[in-house]
Structure 1
């Protein structure tokens, strides 16, 4: 009598936990997103606290910081500030006019294109910011103290990638609605 061996019966994989309404478990990526939300909220609270020292709103503080960051000595356009802070130009224009009236900004027409307004910090704003610089630098040192230059560059590169992808994802959401 010839005995043939039959292949072993296929092993059944453990059944996956049922997913309610098509829910998928993204686990760690969801936690990263919630961490971003938390970081964003903390930065917003810090922005409001700094702004309070100037007697301005958090949005106005953000505009001042964007101008300080972007200005290379020739002034910065409303469009450049709008792009940096992800706000519409009409909002930036309105807020910068208020900041100008408060003596914190200078606004002048561009010599190359009179339709463009170039903004720079006033001497008063520069002095106030310089006065706060040691506190500002101490906070940055504290926040980033565990990052060497290479690690910080790596984080920045990954955040740039995520910023780009979230922008594309947002556009997809808008298109699908």
Structure 2
């Protein structure tokens, strides 16, 4: 399945095209007038919304929620054949471990992942994807690759590495800012 950029004029007709184009132009002008930090914040929020929309689409293919899809993706990315602890998933997703525990139990009931005690510490639960989930994710790889290439086509590997590093720094600073604010309140 090829990925094509959605344009408002593709889904509307006649004078609606002009109206949709004007609305988009007006939105861009108003966003352009914001100071750079506020604009950056809104752009990041918008990116998150589009990522959420993609997660919802892929989650729907398995009949699960977007957050459950994220749990499966975290396991897929982190698991090196022996499962990963619940706390590693919760740290990556920045959620409470109890949320991952609850959701992983639901995913286990659907046959999408396995939960088993760690061989070294029975208190630790290790998560791994079920075979059918691995196959399902593999079946989406071509579509994911096409989207990834489209989205990141303007970045070479060095630029993307640098940009990702700067985003990681920003995330760390935002985390520290949240701690500071929580102390004040």
Normalising TM by the smaller chain, what interval? Answer: 0.7 to 0.9
Q: Give the C-alpha shift of residue 101 in structure 1.
A: 0.7
Residue by residue, what CA displacement relative to the aligned partner does 1:94-143 show, whole Å, maximum 9, x if unpaired? 00001001010011110010100101000000011111110011111111
Divergent runs of 4+, >2 A: none
Q: TM-score, with normalisation over the residues of structure 1?
A: 0.84
Name 1:172's counterpart in structure 2. Answer: 180
Counterparts of 2:158 and 2:140, CA distance in 1: 28
Aligned to 1:39, which of 47, 54, 59? 47
Q: TM-score, with normalisation over the residues of structure 2?
A: 0.81
Name 1:144's counterpart in structure 2. Answer: 152
Q: Give the C-alpha shift of residue 27 in structure 1.
A: 1.1
Unaligned runs of 5+ in 1: 1-25
**RMSD of Structure 2 on Structure 1 (CA):** 1.2
1:118 aligns with 2:126: yes
Residue by residue, what CA displacement relative to the aligned partner does 1:58-104 show, whole Å, maximum 9, x if unpaired? 01000000000110111010000000001101110000001001010
Name 1:48's counterpart in structure 2. Answer: 56
Give the helix-richer structure, 1 or 2: 2
Larger Rg: 1
Unaligned runs of 5+ in 2: 1-33
Counterparts of 1:150 and 1:92, CA distance in 2: 34
SS of 2:128's equivalent in the other structure is strand
Give the alignment of 1:11-50 within 5 angstroms: 27-50=35-58
